[in-house]
Structure 1
Amino acid sequence: MKIAIAQINSFLGAFEANRKKIEAFCKKAEKHSCDLIIFPESALFGYHPVDLLERPSIVDAQLRELKKLQKKIPKNLKVLVGAITHNPKSNGKPFLNAAVLLSKNKSPKIFAKELLPTYDVFDEGRHIQPGDLSKNIFSFKGKKILVTICEDIWAWTLPGQKHSNYAQNPLLKIKPGNVDLVVNLSASPFTDKKMKWRQFVTSKTATHFKAPLIYVNMVGAQDEIIFDGASLFTSKKGQLLQQCERFQEDFQVIEPFSSPVPQKRHQPNVHHLRKDAILLGISDFLKKTGLSQVHLGLSGGLDSALVACLATEALGPQKVTAFALPGPYSSSQSLRLARKLAKNLKISFLKIEITSTYKHLLAVLEKTLGSIPFGTVQENLQARLRALCLMAYANKNNSLLLNTSNKSEMATGYTTLYGDLCGGLCPIGDLLKTEVKQMAKTIYAHVIPQEIISRPPSAELRPHQKDTDSLPPYPILDPIVEKLVENYKGTHTSTGRQVLKMLMKSEFKRWQAPPILKISNHAFGRGRRFPIASKAIF
C-alpha cells in the first residue's frame, strides 16, 4: 500500500483555491501510483474557522467545492481530506470537524473528530459537535485504518504533567487488535516546544495499537497562528521513520507496511526555528490579507532592528520601508545606526522629524489645559506623533505597519497605547527581550551593527532615559514574565510581585494590541483571555 502525505498551506475561506490545490496534489499522488492520499485537518475550509461558522452559508459554499472535488479525483485513488460538515443529528452543535473519505463514484464517508480543544487559541466546541472515535475505522486493501483528527491523539498524560487534560482517552475505547494503521489529520500550531510533544503522542498512540501511524499536519499561517507542517510517519514501535519539511508545503510517499529505513534529519536550534516561524507568519499574513508591502519605525534600537531583518528576509528588501522619526530626545547615534542598518538591508529609508510638531502641539494643549509639568503627557505625545506619521504612510501606500514591541514590554505595559503599540501585525510580540537579543546575535549579527546589539535599551522620550528606569533589568524580568505568562505559576519575590502588578494592570493595552505571531506555549492574544476590570492580583 502506498500512501501520500499532502502537507498543504490552505487559505481560510478560499474554498475554490483550496480545492484546486488538493486536486493538484491528487494528480501528483496518481503519478506516484498511490492508493490513498491524506490531507491535513480542515484542509478544504482552512483553519481555524472560529466564528465564520456562525454563517451556515459559508459551510455550504465549502461543501459545494467538496462535491466538485469528488468528481475530479483520479479513479483509483482514495482521498482523505479535512473539511467542516453538517451534524446529521437534529440536536447538538451544527457542524462536525471531519475527515472525509472520497472515492470516485462512491458516497463519501465522514469521520468526525471527538476531542474538541478549548484551551489556548482553540474553542472548537463553540460550533462543533464531538464525534465518536470508535466509529472512525474503515477497511482498505485488507487493512483496518483508524482515522483520528489532531486532538484525538492528545489525551495521553504528557511527560511532566500530573494528569491528562481529558477525563477519558477515546483511543482506549478501541481494541488494539482492531487497528492496522492509524492516520491523524492535524492543524497543530507551531510553538518552540511543540515538536517533542507531537513525537510523544504519535509514538504513544502507535505503540498502544502496535500499528504504524501517519500524521499529516497543516503548514502556513492564519492571523497570529503559525502551522509548521513537519508531518511524520512513525513505526508500530513508536520510532520516527520519516518527516516532512517544516514551514513549507511538502509531498511524500509512505509505504507503511514495508520496512522503511529511518531518515536522519538535522534539527535546527531554537533561534532558527523561531525565525523560520516568524518569516512564514509575516509572509502568509500579507498574502492572505491581500497586502504586498510593509513599513516600520526604525529607531536605532534592537527590537525594530530585528523586525526590519525579519521583514526583509520574509518579503525582500523592495517591499520594506523604514522610517526614522527623531524627536527632541533622540540621539544622533540612533539616527546614524538606523540609517546604517537600512543600508545594510538595502531597504528604503525615510526620515520625518517630529520635534517642531511636538513643540507646537504641546503649546496648543497648554493654551487650553494650562501648564503641563514634564511627564507621561510629553512622553506619549512623541510616541503618538510617530504613530500618526507611520499610519499616514499606511493609508497613502496601502502598506502594513509592523509593530516592534517585544513580549517583555507587552507583559509590563511598557508601551504607549495608540503610539508605539499601533500596527497591523506584531512579529516579535512573543519574544522576550533577551530572546530578541539572542536571535539578533545568532542570526543577524552580520547585518545589525554591533552598537545596536550592545547599547542599553531606551525609548528616548526624555533626557538620558533607559528602560531600567522603569523596569527590572531584562535578565531578571524575562524569567519572571515566562513564569507568570507561559508557565501559569505565581511569584513570591518583591520584584516578581512588582511585575505581576504591572502585568495585571496593563491588560487594557493588550486588548488593543495588533495580532501577535504566536511562537511560545502561551502568547498574548486570542489564546490568553484575561479581564480588564479585575482586582485579582495574586
Structure 2
Amino acid sequence: MRLSLAQLNPLIGDLSGNSKKIIAACKDAYKNNANLLITPELSILGYPPRDLLFNPLFLEHQWDILDEIVTYIAEKTPQLTLLVGIAEPAQDLQVPNLFNSIALLKSSGWEVIARKQLLPTYDVFDEKRYFRAAQKSGVILLTENERTWRLGLTICEDLWVEEGIQGHRIEGPDPIADLTSKKIDLLLNLSASPFTHGKGLLRQRLASKAAKRLNCPVIYLNQVGGNDELIFDGSSFITDQKGKKTLSLPLCKESIVTWDATSNSSISSPSLKEDQEILLQALVLGVKDYVGKCGFKSVLLGLSGGIDSALVAIIACAALGAEKVSGILMPSPWSSEGSIIDANNLAKRLGIKTSTIPIASLMENYDITLKTTLGKLPQGLTAENLQARIRGTLLMAIANEQKHLLLSTGNKSELAVGYCTLYGDMNGGLAVIGDLYKTNIFDLCHWLDSNNAYQCRSDLGLPKTGDLVGSAILNKPPSAELSPNQLDSDSLPDYEVLDKILKALIEDRSNYKTLASKEYPSALVTKVKKLLKNAEFKRRQAPPTLKVSEQAFGSGWRIPIAST
C-alpha cells in the first residue's frame, strides 16, 4: 500500500481554498500511485477555527465541500481513498455539540470513521468549548493488492499519553492502549500541533513510544503555516515499528510525500537543523503568513539602531523580501550618532528603504502644549513616554497612509516587566519577537552573524556572507535612548539574571518564595514579580505575539489584571 502525506497550510475558514489544496494533493497522490492520502487535523476548516465553529452556515458549508471532493475523486482519482479532518455535529441538543473527527472519502461517498478522544484545554487550546470527547479509537480496513490493512486512527492529542515523557498528560483515556488489542498494521495521527522550542523532539519520542507499544509504524502528519499568533511547523514524519524515524517532511513548508508501507524503507529526509535555525524559520513563517493571510502587501517598522529592531527587520526581509519592508528612523535629541549610523548600515546590508523623521520639534511642541495644563514641562517617565508615543503615532500614520502592517519590535523581557510604552513602542499589528527574551535575541543574532547561518541566510534570500546584524549592534549596551545616557540596566537587573527569573515565573510557574530562597536575592525576585504583575494591563493591550515558547503572552496567558 502506498500512502501520500499532505502537509498543508490552510487559511482558517477558507473552506473553498482549503479544499483546492486537498484536491491538488489528490492529484499528486494519484500521479504517484498512492492508495491513501492523509491530511492534517480539521484540514477543511483550518486549525484552530475557534468561534467560527459557532456559525451554523460555516459548518454546513463543509458538506458541500466534502461532496465536491468526492465528485473529483470519482471523476479523476477513482482508486484513491482520502482522510480529512472535519467538525462533525452531534445528533442531539446537548452542548458542546461537535466532534473533532476524521472523514473517509472515496469515489462512492464519504463517512465519519474516527473522533478525537483527548481534548486539550491548556495553554492556547480550548477544545472543550467546542467539542465532545469520543470514547474509542478509530480503526479502518483497507484492502490493497489482496492484502487487508488495519489502520489505527488518532487525532493530535490522542498521541500525548506518556506521562514519563511529557511530565504530565490531560485526564482521559489512553487511545494507544485502546488500540493494542486491535492488532493494527499502521497508526495514523492527524495533527495540528503548534511550534514551540524542542517540541519536534518530544513529538518523535511520543510517536516512537507508540510504535513500540503497538509494534507497528507510526505516521505523524502535522499542519504547517502561521495562523494568528500560532505557528505550525509541519515537520511530519514516519517511524518504523521499533520507533526509528524513517521519513521526515520539511520544516515550515507545504509538502506532499508518498511512502510505500509495504517496504517500510527509509526515504531521504531533510537535513537536521540547529535550534537557532529552527527558531528563525518558524518566526519567518509566522510573519509571512500573518501578513499574507491578513491581506497586507508590505510592512513597516521603526529602526532604532538597537538589536530588537534589527532582528525584526531581518525576519521581515526573510519573510517578504527587502522590497516589501520599510524602516523609519526617528532620532530625538537623546539618540546617539552611533545608533543612527547603525540603523542606516543595517538597512543598507538588508537592502530596505528608509526614511528619517527627527522628532525634536514635535517634542518641543508637546512640551509647550502640556505646560499650560501641567504648569511645568513634562519630566521623567512622562517625558520619556511622550517620545515613544510620538514615534508610535508617526509609525501608525505612515502605516495607515501607505497600507503597511506595522511590526512591533518589543521583546518578552520588556513586555514582562512593563519596560515598554502603551500607544508608543507597543504600537503595531504584530509583535514579531514578543515571545523572545532579550538573551534569546542576542543568541539568535550572534548565530545569524556566524558561519553556521550562511546556508540558512542564503535559503531565506538574505545576504549570504559577512555580518548581518553587525558587531556595532551586537556589542552595544541595550538602551531605549529616551533620556541622556540612558541604559536599560539603570532600571532593570542584568538581562542574564532577569530573563532566568522571568522564565522561572512565567514558563516554569515557579513559586517565587522558593525561587528567592534558593537562587536569587529575595528583594530582586519580589521586585521582578511585582513588575510582572503590574504590567498585565499593558500586555492585555499589546498586538498579537508570535508564540514560540511553552508560555507566551497571548491567548494562553490568562492572568487577571486586577489581582493580588
Asked whether the two chains share a fold, i.e. TM above 0.5, the reply is yes
Residue 128 of structure 2 corresponds to 125
On the 8 A contact 1:120/1:528 being kept in 2, the answer is yes
Residue 503 of structure 2 corresponds to 482
Q: 1:93, 1:104 → 2: CA distance?
A: 32
Are residue 311 (structure 1) and residue 340 (structure 2) matched?
Answer: no
Secondary structure in structure 2 of the residue aligned to 1:434? helix
CA drift of 1:499 comes to 1.1
Are residue 292 (structure 1) and residue 294 (structure 2) matched?
Answer: no
Mark the runs of 5 or more structure 2 residues left unpaired by the alignment.
451-466
Residue 139 of structure 1 corresponds to 141
Change in 2 beyond 3 A, CA 1:507/1:322: same
Q: 1:158, 1:474 → 2: CA distance?
A: 33
Q: 1:172, 1:336 → 2: CA distance?
A: 62
Secondary structure in structure 1 of the residue aligned to 2:430? coil
On the 8 A contact 2:118/2:172 being kept in 1, the answer is no
CA drift of 1:31 comes to 0.8
On the 8 A contact 1:309/1:444 being kept in 2, the answer is no
Change in 2 beyond 3 A, CA 1:106/1:374: closer
Q: 1:108, 1:264 → 2: CA distance?
A: 34
Residue-by-residue CA offset, 1:110-152 (whole Å, 9 max, x unaligned): 4211111001110011011112333x11111112111110001
2:557 to 521, 525, 528: 528
CA drift of 1:87 comes to 1.7
Are residue 214 (structure 1) and residue 216 (structure 2) matched?
Answer: no
On the 8 A contact 1:2/1:34 being kept in 2, the answer is yes
On the 8 A contact 2:370/2:378 being kept in 1, the answer is no
What amino acid is aligned across from residue 520 of structure 1 in structure 2? S
CA drift of 1:372 comes to 4.3
Secondary structure in structure 2 of the residue aligned to 1:80? strand
Residue-by-residue CA offset, 1:341-378 (whole Å, 9 max, x unaligned): 11111101101111111111111111122114621110
TM-score, length basis structure 1: 0.96
Residue 455 of structure 1 corresponds to 476
CA drift of 1:174 comes to 3.2
Q: 2:93, 2:183 → 1: CA distance?
A: 31
Residues 88-167 of structure 1 mapped to structure 2, 5 A cutoff: 88-134=91-137, 136-141=138-143, 142-159=148-165, 161=167, 163-167=168-172
Change in 2 beyond 3 A, CA 1:80/1:264: closer
TM-score, length basis structure 2: 0.92
Are residue 198 (structure 1) and residue 203 (structure 2) matched?
Answer: yes
Residue 256 of structure 1 corresponds to 261
Secondary structure in structure 1 of the residue aligned to 2:209? helix
On the 8 A contact 1:176/1:208 being kept in 2, the answer is no
On the 8 A contact 2:123/2:557 being kept in 1, the answer is yes
On the 8 A contact 1:133/1:148 being kept in 2, the answer is no
Q: 2:309, 2:479 → 1: CA distance?
A: 12
Residue 352 of structure 1 corresponds to 357
Q: 1:262, 1:36 → 2: CA distance?
A: 18
Residues 2-401 of structure 1 mapped to structure 2, 5 A cutoff: 2-73=2-73, 74-134=77-137, 136-141=138-143, 142-159=148-165, 161=167, 163-261=168-266, 263=268, 265-372=270-377, 374-401=379-406
The percent identity for this pair of structures is 41
Q: 1:513, 1:221 → 2: CA distance?
A: 19
On the 8 A contact 1:155/1:166 being kept in 2, the answer is no
Q: 1:88, 1:455 → 2: CA distance?
A: 63
Q: 1:183, 1:352 → 2: CA distance?
A: 56
CA drift of 1:53 comes to 1.3
CA drift of 1:264 comes to 5.9
Q: Number of paired residues?
A: 533
Runs of 4+ in 1 over 4 A off after TM superposition: 262-265
What amino acid is aligned across from residue 213 of structure 2 in structure 1? H
Q: 1:284, 1:47 → 2: CA distance?
A: 14
On the 8 A contact 2:247/2:268 being kept in 1, the answer is yes
Secondary structure in structure 2 of the residue aligned to 1:499? helix
Change in 2 beyond 3 A, CA 1:62/1:394: farther
Q: 1:329, 1:522 → 2: CA distance?
A: 35
CA drift of 1:458 comes to 0.6
CA drift of 1:177 comes to 4.3
Secondary structure in structure 2 of the residue aligned to 1:191? coil
Identify the range of structure 1 (441-450 vs 239-248) with the bigger mean alpha-carbon deviation.
441-450
CA drift of 1:13 comes to 1.0
Residue 530 of structure 2 corresponds to 501
On the 8 A contact 2:249/2:269 being kept in 1, the answer is no
What amino acid is aligned across from residue 529 of structure 1 in structure 2? R
Q: 2:424, 2:539 → 1: CA distance?
A: 13
CA drift of 1:302 comes to 0.6
Secondary structure in structure 2 of the residue aligned to 1:174? helix
Secondary structure in structure 1 of the residue aligned to 2:125? coil
On the 8 A contact 1:193/1:520 being kept in 2, the answer is no
Q: 1:350, 1:375 → 2: CA distance?
A: 28
Secondary structure in structure 2 of the residue aligned to 1:6? strand
Are residue 472 (structure 1) and residue 501 (structure 2) matched?
Answer: no
On the 8 A contact 2:410/2:434 being kept in 1, the answer is yes
Secondary structure in structure 2 of the residue aligned to 1:252? strand
2:423 to 396, 418, 421: 418
Residue-by-residue CA offset, 1:2-46 (whole Å, 9 max, x unaligned): 011011111111111111111011011111111100001111101
